Amino acid sequence: MAATSQPRFAALSGVGLVAAAKEAGLAAFIALVLAITVIGMRTVDQQGGLGIEFRPTVVGIAVGLVFVGRFLLVLWRQRARPLDRGARERVMDRIGAEVLHYSKYAGISLFALAVAVPIIWSGNRYVVDVATLVLTYIMLGWGLNIVVGLAGLLDLGYVAFYAVGAYSYALIALHFDLSFWACLPLAGLFAASFGVLLGFPVLRLRGDYLAIVTLGFGEIIRVILLNWYSFTRGPDGLSGIPRPSFFGFEFTRRPAEGETAFHQLFGWDYSSMHRIIFLYYLILVLALITNFFTLRIRKLPVGRAWEALREDEIACRSLGINPTNTKLTAFAIGAMFGGFAGSFFATRQGFISPESFTFVESAVILAIVVLGGMGSQIGVVLAAVVLIGGTELFRELSEYRMLAFGGLMVAIMVWRPRGLLAHREPTLLLGRTTAAGGGGGP
Amino acid sequence: MEYFVQQLINGLTLGAIYGLIAIGYTMVYGIIGMINFAHGDVFMIGAFVALISFLVLGIAGVTWLPLALLLVLLIAMFVTSAYGWAVERLAYRPLRGSFRLAPLISAIGMSIFLQNYVQIAQGARVKPLPPLIQGGFTFMEHGSFTVSLSYMQIIIVVLTLALMTAFSLLIARTALGRAQRACEQDRTMAALLGINVDRTISLTFVMGAALAAVAGMMFLLYYGVIDFFIGFLAGIKAFTAAVLGGIGSLPGAMLGGLLIGLIETFWSAYFTIEYKDVAAFSILVLVLIFRPSGLLGRPEVEKV
């Protein structure tokens, strides 16, 4: 609404206030229409059916908030001439580039912090548990980032590979009595082959169709896990999944005859924290492997082909890149890391059931990638810390957690569609080396 | 035979509901080329608004059933349309011309938002509504098994047919329908010729939401129980229907809806009820792989 001929900071004028009030009034009226039934009349269980509880104050608060919010937004837009999309993107790209520049140091300090967490809080199981959870999501985010961020394939069924990894680890470990270290690569291999199996027929599809099909596959796998009782024990889940050992040394107070337990190896007293801390370092190492792998593979021809394919598929084809094979490698590698994370999840929990692998889980992982900035490794870390760690902090508000997730996804897309720290740097520069930022898109 | 006829009736009823939701997907896809992932949740909101309206009308003392049904229908369509409009305005309009996956991610966010919004506002428990329209015809008695056709099923099929006819006429005959078809073919050209493209797209969302509200109300009356999560599965199946019929094609959406309804019903009746969702998802995957343009759609040409 703001006229572009106005100076950047116009004085508050009466006309502007009235116009803002009018727009806010309109928004408030629409909010009233939306809120009056769904928020204002709550269905409650009563004797003999449902009753209605009227909540006019809640509606009033909601409508008032919308009015004030819209009023301030319109005023702000009148006073400070809003940047157009291009300018905003350029500013944010510059910030992204700065962050990337400093992320070398930030990465090292974050790594140091990550290593130090269990040493600082060695007595506090809760902190280490939350940190482990955050790291699991960081690893999943990095894995999905290969598929979504680098190759530009929107995968809404990533949790399927997480589930395949978890179940293959659990089933192999339970039936064949193999150790964690033997099962882990097998689980990754299974997940990767599932990636190829699912990816092969569908990767010819266009972006949004691909997204829906991957969502369908994710749900199919969950329904099969739920109903194939003889194999997966259905909704009861698999329990008694073997815990990992420290290269053969178990974390038990009293090891079996003739074996050495972890604490005896070092001559320490037994503590239940040993296993927790070991699991923490395990996921830290796994996540770092994912990160390292991604950083390196971006420099390889296949990694460059992914990013090229993301930008322009037709141009890639005309340059002789086989799109299906290239996408398939991204899909399989992303799936493999999902599978690793899945086996870690299984061994940490000791119990898995299809409950843990719903679409919401896929959406959370996707939200982490999208919010952090597609293709940005440090962005995934920040998003996972904020989204997973943040929700742990506000435990009592947990029912608003997914609401905030959804709202944030919309807001970020509207405000900055490629994610907060998205930064597309040419991986290869010819001649001049100054054009680091920008990129911009079609 | 009797069992077959009964399943046919049930499948057609279910298919009518899917078809109404599928129209919302297919119209939006036709006009702006995006999958409105939140459409299933708009359907869910329609069902909730219908439930709330029934309860409030009951308190207000409107007990004459036809009047109550009509009022509920109108309220649900109005409020749900407002939701459809608001979703488009907030989550999709700012993204026109953005990169291709942005609207879909925004739509997923919107879907999660709406689900949790209803869950917080209305509670997570399932909401039952006692059956309002009971009775029906029974025929083809064979031993102990009779085929029954309830009044509810007749109402659903008749209402769907009426809405479909009205809707096809709207698209084919009115100025709004012409504007929609023009925007579908070439948005820039339509804008040059004086069509308000933003308004036309908004109205498309409003109409889709209104039909979803009807579907939501019928779902509520037919099954008698709803919760905040019904939009997810119903949305995916309706989307499958739209793809199966050929996305962008109105008769295709209806045909696809009926086929999905029939396939799901027969699958549950003759194979296993546990895997009925797998059947719907598999159809989606197979259609997209082997015939992405669907049964009645035109193949899409990739432009450079």
Cα(B263)–Cα(B7) distance, rounded to whole angstroms?
10
Is A73 part of the contact surface with chain B (CB cutoff 8 Å)?
no
Put simply, the answer to whether B288 touches A209 (Cβ < 8 Å) is yes
Q: Do B99 and A441 touch (CB under 8 A)?
A: yes
The residue type found at A352 is: I
Residues of B in contact with A33 (CB under 8 A): 78-79, 82
pLDDT exceeds cutoff 70 at A435: no
Instruction: Answer whether residue B282 is part of any domain.
Output: no
Say if the Cβ atoms of B112 and A400 lie within 8 Å.
no
Residue in B closest to A39 by C-alpha:
B121
**Range scoring the smallest mean pLDDT among A36-45, A424-433, B42-51, B96-105:** A424-433
- pLDDT for B47: 94
From the list A41, A215, A403, the residue facing B52 with the nearest CB is: A41
Of B89, B148, B86, residue with least CA distance to B117: B86
Q: Measured between alpha carbons, how far is A441 from A374 in angstroms, rounded to an integer?
A: 14
Tokens encoding A67: 């009015």
The pTM score is 0.85
- Nearest CB partner across the interface for B288, out of A205, A366, A418: A205
Which pLDDT value is given to residue B202?
Answer: 92
Report the alpha-carbon distance of residue A50 to residue B128 in Å, rounded: 7
Residue A94 is predicted with a pLDDT of 75
Restricting to A residues 274-333, those with a Cβ less than 8 Å away from any Cβ of B are: 314
The answer to whether position B19 is within a domain reads no
What distance in Å separates residue B140's CA from the closest CA in chain A? Answer: 35
- pLDDT class of A254 with cuts at 50, 70, 90: low
The residue written with tokens 């036809």 in the block is B66
Between A337 and A428, name the one with better pLDDT. A337
To the nearest whole angstrom, how far is the Cα of A237 from the nearest Cα of chain B?
A: 17
Q: How far apart are the first and last CA of chain A?
A: 26
* Neighboring chain A residues of B292 at a CB cutoff of 8 Å: 205, 209
Task: Give percent above pLDDT 70 in chain A.
Answer: 82
**Mean pLDDT over residues A133-160, rounded?**
89
Taking only the tens place, the pLDDT of each residue in B279-291 is 888 888 888 878 7
Q: Is residue B280 part of a domain?
A: no
The minimum CA-CA distance between A390 and chain B, rounded to whole Å, is: 18
Residues 6+ positions from A182 with CB-CB distance below 8 Å = none
Q: What is the per-residue pLDDT for B293? A: 78
B140: left (phi over 0), alpha (psi -120 to 50) or beta: left
From the list A346, A348, A353, A356, the residue with the least C-alpha distance to A174 is A346
- Comparing alpha-carbon positions, the chain A residue that sits nearest to B86 is A30
Residues of B in contact with A220 (CB under 8 A): 278, 281-282
Per-residue pLDDT at B214 exceeds 80: yes
CA angle B128, B131, B133 (to 5 degrees): 150
Instruction: Give the Cα separation of A215 and B35 in Å (integer).
Output: 13
Confidence of residue A6 (pLDDT cuts 50, 70, 90): very low
- What is the pLDDT at residue A442? 35
A263 vs A352: CA distance, rounded Å = 28
What is the structure's pLDDT at B250?
Answer: 85
A84 touches chain B (CB under 8 A): no
Report the chain A residue with the minimal C-alpha distance to residue B38: A406
Answer yes or no: are the C-beta atoms of A357 and A225 closer than 8 Å: yes
| pLDDT beyond 60 at A440 | no
Crossing angle for the helix pair B197-223 and B65-87, nearest 10 degrees? 140
Nearest-neighbour CA in chain A from B51: distance (Å): 9
Tokens of A22: 């009018």
Contact A160/B at CB under 8 A = no
Domain coordinates of chain A in residue numbers?
14-84, 95-253+268-415
B301 contact A CB<8A: no
Q: Which is more confident, A46 or B85?
A: B85
Q: Is residue B303 part of a domain?
A: no
pLDDT, chain A, mean: 79
Give the residue on A whose Cα is nearest the Cα of B112: A406
- The encoded tokens of residue B237 equal 């199946």
Contact B284 A50 (CB under 8 A): no
Would you say residue A401 has pLDDT above 60?
yes
Taking contacts as CB-CB distances below 8 angstroms, the residues of chain A near B34 are 208
% of chain A residues with pLDDT over 90: 8
Q: Which domain holds residue B158?
A: 24-231+243-248
Q: Give yes or no for a contact between A186 and A172, defined as CB atoms under 8 angstroms apart.
A: yes
CB contact under 8 A, B82 and A38: no
3-state secondary structure A199-263: HHHHCCCCHHHHHHHHHHHHHHHHHHHHHCHHHHCHHHCEECCCCCCECCEECCCCCCCCCCEHH
Nearest-angstrom CA–CA distance, A42 and A51 = 8
Inter-chain CB proximity A403 and B302 less than 8 Å: no
Most confident region among A2-16, A257-271, B223-237 by mean pLDDT: B223-237
pLDDT tens digit string along B16-67? Answer: 999 999 998 888 888 888 888 899 999 999 999 999 998 888 888 877 888 8
* CATH code of domain A95-253+268-415: 1.10.3470
- Over residues A229-249, mean pLDDT: 76
Contact criterion met (CB < 8 Å) for A417 and B98: yes
Inter-chain residue contact A359 with B122, CB threshold 8 Å: no
pLDDT tier for residue A84 given thresholds of 50, 70 and 90: low
pLDDT tier, A85 (very low <50, low <70, confident <90, very high otherwise): low
Q: Is residue B91 within 8 angstroms of chain A, CB to CB?
A: yes
| pLDDT band with cut points at 50, 70 and 90 for residue A3 | very low
Q: Do B35 and A211 touch (CB under 8 A)?
A: yes
Beta strand ranges found along A241-362 (DSSP E): 351-352
Is pLDDT at A422 greater than 90 in this prediction? no
Q: Which residues contact A413 (CB under 8 A, 6 or more apart)?
A: A370, B91, B95, B98, B102, B103, B105, B106, B109
Q: How far apart are the first and last CA of chain B?
A: 54
Task: Read off φ and ψ for residue A77, nearest 5 degrees.
Answer: -70, -30
Could you tell me if residue B291 is inside a domain?
Answer: no
Sign, Cα dihedral of A188, A361, A345, B285: negative
CA neighbor of A223 nearest in space, from A363, A365, A360, A359: A359
Question: Letter for the amino acid at A164?
Answer: V
Half-sphere exposure of A163 (CA within 13 A, CB side): 25
b (16+ CB within 10 A) / e for A387-412: bbeebbeeeeeeeebbbbbbbbbbbb
Over range A210-229, report the average pLDDT: 85
A350 Cβ contact partners less than 8 Å away, ≥ 6 residues apart? A239, A240, A241, A243
**Range with the poorest average pLDDT among A95-109, A191-205, A325-339, A392-406:** A95-109
Rounded distance between C-alpha atoms, residue A160 and residue A179, angstroms: 23
Q: Is B58 helix (H, G, I), strand (E, B) or coil?
A: helix
| Choice among A26-40, A84-98, A229-243, A417-431 with the minimum mean pLDDT | A417-431
**What is the rounded distance in angstroms from the CA atom of residue B82 to the CA atom of residue B68?**
21
Q: State how far the Cα of A195 lies from the Cα of A164, in Å rounded to an integer.
A: 10
The pLDDT assigned to B300 comes to 61
A319-354 pLDDT per residue, tens = 888 888 888 999 899 999 999 999 899 888 888 888
Q: Is residue B49, in this structure, part of any structural domain at all?
A: yes
Q: What is the pLDDT of residue B219?
A: 92
| Cβ within 8 Å of residue B235, ≥6 positions away | B21, B37, B39, B40, B41, B43, B111
Whether B59 is in a domain gets the answer yes
Which of A33, A226, A441 is nearest residue B82 as measured by Cβ atoms? A33
Beta carbons of A406 and B123 less than 8 Å apart = no
Instruction: Give the 3-state secondary structure of residue A54.
Output: strand
Place B304 in a pLDDT band, splitting at 50, 70 and 90. Answer: very low
- Name the residue among A38, A207, A413 with its Cβ closest to that of B48: A38
Q: Is B228 an 8 Å CB contact of chain A?
A: no
Residues 6+ apart with CB under 8 A from A253: A261, A270
Residue window 195-214, chain A: list those with CB within 8 Å of chain B. 201-202, 204-205, 207-209, 211-213
Helix (H) or strand (E) holding A74: helix A56-79
Of residues A50, A152, A359, nearest to B127 (C-beta): A50
pLDDT for position A11: 52
Answer whether B125 sits within 8 Å of A216, measured CB to CB. no
The answer to whether the Cβ–Cβ distance between B95 and A414 falls below 8 Å is yes
DSSP for A81-143, written as a single string:
PPPPHHHHHHHHHHHHHHHHHHHHHHHHHHHHHHHHHHHHTTT-HHHHHHHHHHHHHHHHHHH
Sign (positive or negative) of CA dihedral B72, B78, B82, B84: positive
- What is the torsion angle, in degrees rounded to the nearest 10, for the CA atoms of residue A66, residue A71, residue A73 and residue A79? 180
The number of distinct structural domains making up chain B is 1
Instruction: For chain B, say whether A26 makes contact (Cβ under 8 Å).
Output: no
Chain B interface test: which of A38, A156, A362 (most B C-beta within 10 Å): A38
Instruction: Tell me: pLDDT of A294 over 70.
Output: yes
Degrees (nearest 5) of the Cα angle B259, B262, B267? 120
What is the pLDDT, as a whole number, of residue A17? 82
